[in-house]
Structure 1
Amino acid sequence: MKIIIDSDASPVKGIVIQEAKKRGLDVILVASFAHFSNKVHPSHVETVYVDSEKEAADYKIMQLAQRSDVLITQDYGLASMALLKGVTVLHHKGFQYDQYNIERLLESRYLSAQMRKSGKRTKGPKPFTQADAQTFQTLLIEVLDLATKNPSQPQ
């Protein structure tokens, strides 16, 4: 089991790295070269850089992800593909994607895109807060504890 982070815009990398270290889990940060960083991470963290082309990170993540893994992403399309692969997928705002909410989220994304195409304005995401970070950390701990106690069971 490993944790993969769609890391270009993820505000929870530090939380994930910290919780993974406590459990001896590896973390893979997937980022585009446009977000290159010289930051040195602990030995259990690997950074994989991909082209800055649209969807390049998604393709790499899907190549790396396996059934027992956990993925952190805010990309609904990537989340839907990973769910089909049996990956546990979390959003940094502290909710877990599942077969029930992903369809609604994808539909909402589609409708917002249609509105923008027709010239209407839509609201962007709300700012990430400390409360969001705490909610995410609580969910991550729950998911990791369950997975490490029951490694053969997808979440």
Structure 2
Amino acid sequence: MRIWIDADGCPVVDLTIRLSTGYEVFLVCDTAHQFSRVGATTITIGQGADAVDFAIVNRMAPGDIVVTQDYGLAALSLARKGRAIDQNGRIFTNENIDFLLHTRHVGQEIRRAGGRTKGPKKRTRQEDLAFEQSFVRLLADASSIS
């Protein structure tokens, strides 16, 4: 099992690496966001619509974990028999992904029509704790299946 981090704009890169001791961790980013961290291998992908997402999906194997806030990448990861979690600790499942994709679609329609949607709030310590708890649980669940 490997850990894939959609590193562009991910606020839990360092926390994920720290929690992933004993696992291979990959930071995947585009050329606009250079990353380098001890404990992880960085893969830099050329810029392009969803280039990082496709790079992760094409490299991942069943059972791998993807850390992403992108519902589309989460859905693709689940389709590849992987697991996915967002930066706030929400574990993506086959039961919740359709609703989340629909929510994303509605937001895109509002923005295309000239409307505005809320941006992200300032990150809190509680969100880091929620991520940590969910990620540790996900690692334990994935390890017991492998």
* TM-score class normalised by the smaller sequence: over 0.9
Instruction: Summarize the Cα distance change of 1:81–1:40 in structure 2 as closer, same or farther, 3 Å threshold.
Output: closer
Long gaps (5+) in structure 2? none
Corresponding residue number in structure 2 for 1:46: 41
SS in 1 for 2:63: coil
Counterpart residue identity of residue 95, structure 2: Y
SS in 2 for 1:35: coil
SS in 2 for 1:82: helix
Corresponding residue number in structure 2 for 1:58: 53
Matches within 5 A, 1:95-114: 95-114=90-109
Long gaps (5+) in structure 1? none
Instruction: Summarize the Cα distance change of 1:40–1:140 in structure 2 as closer, same or farther, 3 Å threshold.
Output: closer
Alignment RMSD: 1.2
TM-score normalised per structure 2: 0.95
Mapped partners of 1:92, 1:101: distance in 2: 16
What number of residue pairs does the alignment pair up?
146
Counterpart residue identity of residue 20, structure 1: S
Counterpart residue identity of residue 56, structure 1: A
Matches within 5 A, 1:114-153: 114-151=109-146
Aligned-residue identity in percent: 31
1:29 lines up with 2:27 in the alignment: yes
